[in-house]
Amino acid sequence: MNAEFDVRYTAGLARLHLSEEEIAKFQAQLSQVLEYVEKLKVVDVSHVEATAHANPVFNIVREDEPRDWFTPQEALANAPRQVNGLFSVPKVIE
């Protein structure tokens, strides 16, 4: 059991509301998963480089050239709310 693992606090970091039932259940289930991954602590990684992904390729960029892509209407087509051709967001400043 990881005493420091707090579902309620972590859910806040993830911008995710949870019910009290979910908090209790996930706390138990994920503590079990964290206990399982504790076994990684016995591996000696002191001289090992981290692998971010499998292929050693870096700084891949496209030419910065304009091309046809979404029209504003297409970009907005899936927006749950839109106003005057813009995405509508909740008020963030008073």
Partner 1 sequence: MSLTSLSVAELQTQLRSKAVSPVEALEALESRIAAVDGSICGYLARDYQRALAAAKCADVNLPLGGVPIAIKDVINVQGEQCTCGSKMLKGYTAPYDATVITRLKAAGAIPFGRVNMDEFAMGSSCENSAYAITHNPWDLSRIPGGSSGGSAAVVAADEAFAALGSDTGGSIRQPAALCGCVGLKPSYGRVSRFGLVAFASSLDQIGPFTKTVRDSALLLNAISGRDPMDSTSLDEPVPDYTAQLGRDLKGVRLGMPREYFVGGTHPQVDKAVRDAIAHYESLGAEIVEISLPHTEYAVGVYYIIATAEASANLARFDGVRYGHRTAEAANILEHYGKTREEGFGAEVKRRIILGTYVLSSGYYDAYYLRAQKVRTLIRQDFTTAFEKVDAIICPTSPEPAFKIGDRSDDPMRMYLADIFTIAVNLAGICGISLPCGFAQVEGKPLPVGLQLIGQPFRETELLKIAHAYEQSTEWHKARPAIS
Can you give the binding site for partner 1, defined by CB under 8 A?
Answer: 5, 7, 10-11, 13-19, 22, 26, 29-30, 32-34, 36-37, 39-41, 43, 45, 48-55, 57, 60-62, 70, 74-75, 77-81, 87-92
- Shortest distance (Å) from residue 13 CB to partner 1: 5
Q: Cα torsion for 40, 42, 48, 49, to the nearest 10°? A: 20
Short-list 24, 31, 29, CA closest to 5? 31
Longest C-alpha distance within the chain, in Å?
58
What is the closest distance, in whole angstroms, from the C-beta atom of residue 87 to partner 1 in the complex?
Answer: 5
